[in-house]
Chain A
Amino acid sequence: MAVVSAFLVSGSPLPMLKPENPAWAGLAAGYAKAQAALVASRPDVLLVYSTQWIAVLDELWQVRAHSVGVHVDENWYEFGDLPFDIRADVKLAEACVAGCASVGVSAKPVDYEDFPIDTGTIVADTLLNPGRVPLVIAANNVYHDFAITERLAGMAVSTSAAQGKRVAVVAVGGLSGAYFDHSIDVAEDHVRHAADDAANRAFLETLTKGADAARAAVGDYAKATKADFGMKHLAWVLGATGGFSGAEVHAYGATYGAGAAVVEFRL
Chain B
Amino acid sequence: MLESIITWLTAWLGEDMGASLAYITNGKHLAWYASVRFTLIAAFGSAFFAVIFGLLGAALKQSIFLPFRWIGTLYTTMVRGIPDLLFILFFPLAFEHGVEFFLAHSKCSAEVMATATGWPPCAEAQWLLSTGDYLLMACISLGIVYGAFAANVIHGAMLAVPKGQLEAASAYGFSAKQVFWKFKVRQMWVYALPGLSNVWILLLKATSFLSLLQIADIVQWAARLGGANYIARVGLVHPDWRWKYYLVLFIFFILLTMISERFFEALQARASRGMSLAGVSNDV
The yes or no verdict on A and B being binding partners is: no
Q: Give the A-binding residues of B (Cβ under 8 A).
A: none
